[in-house]
Amino acid sequence: MATITYKDSGVDIDAGNAFVEAIKSDVKSTFDSNVIGGIGSFAGAYALPSGYKEPVILSATDGVGTKLKLAIESGRLDTVGIDLVAMCVNDLICNYGTPMFFLDYYATGKLLPENAQAVVSGIAEGCRRSECALVGGETAEMPGMYSEDDFDLAGFAVGIAERSEMDRVALVKPGQILIALPSSGAHSNGYSLVRKLFFEKLGMGLEELFDGKPLIETLLKPTRIYVKEFKENREHIVALAHITGGGIVENLPRVLPEGVKAVVREADIRVLPLFEFMGQHVERAEMFRAFNMGVGMVWVIEPEHVDAVLTATDGYVIGQIEQGERKVEMV
């Protein structure tokens, strides 16, 4: 009777083991003094930092979306891991959480160790940029679920906050100033529209020049991570809004209490060339709902702290908080 192996079904255990060995040094480079143990246990262990009166554990999870298709099609896999970390940790800091550790889930039709290593290298880089430890992950080889070239990513960030500091909404009031922190590009939102416009409607190629460089370089520019800026300026920040899917108009109201509105001067927004170009083919209102338009995060700041924040960051003023219906008013 003929026998078959797991490898015959499309799952290569040896490739998985080789991948784990290859990523060990990158993963260890993210460890801090709170990481307990090493790589290879059933669970990652992390000691709670001291100094908190009422510590609260925060968590955030996200993916990279169809930006992954562009990475796969172009063979440029070393930056989407940064996106994965960024989308999670940028959410944590909006609740005044300091990222502690991160885990990832990588699912693919066929595990190619060199490709998976490039992805995890990006995840490790994202963790270094956000000063959190990559304490674990899972790689799933699922033939029949994904085509051989396809993969998907999910990320999970855990942070810690002081309970008394978490409710930022209660601190927002009229007279405060809105400061925009620039995005690096489209970050990880709106890529179904990006792909449809550039490649279906306009018929452009990945390597076609756009703004002086191959289009794919602009589209795969990794999501900016704002953790260090948050840590350096947290005593001056009233509230933070991560500008992701839904844009400024849908994300900024998440930090507004009833009875106040955010008045944003549209002309003051430093729109990136990518969005200026897309705006020739997509209605303005749709652009502001689908994309960050060049603003990756909005901070609410007391007037007396504006100069200090502007000096310490590359942020700029785009509006203010006023009395009114809870919404963003573009003027």
Residue ranges and CATH numbers for the domains of the chain are: 7-165 (3.30.1330.10), 169-330 (3.90.650.10)
The per-residue pLDDT for range 98-152, each reduced to its tens digit, is 999 999 999 999 888 889 999 999 999 999 999 999 999 998 989 888 887 889 9
Q: What is the pLDDT of residue 7?
A: 75
Whether the model clears a pTM of 0.85, i.e. scores above it, the answer is yes
What is the distance between the alpha carbons of residues 59 and 61, in angstroms, rounded to a whole number? 7
CB atoms within 10 A of CB 13: 12
Say whether pLDDT at 261 is over 90.
yes
For residue 285, give Cα distances in angstroms to 2, 247, 292, 293.
63, 10, 12, 11
% of residues, the chain, pLDDT over 70: 99
Average pLDDT over residues 86-91: 98
Phi/psi of residue 66, each to 5°? -75, 0
pLDDT tens digits along 11-37: 777 777 777 777 888 888 999 999 998
Beta-strand ranges (E) seen in the chain are 35-36, 45-46, 55-62, 98-108, 133-141, 151-162, 177-182, 209-210, 213-214, 237-242, 260-264, 295-301, 316-323, 328-330
- Name the pLDDT band for 1 (thresholds 50, 70, 90): low
H helical segments located in 40-93: 67-74, 80-92
pLDDT of residue 10 exceeding 90: no
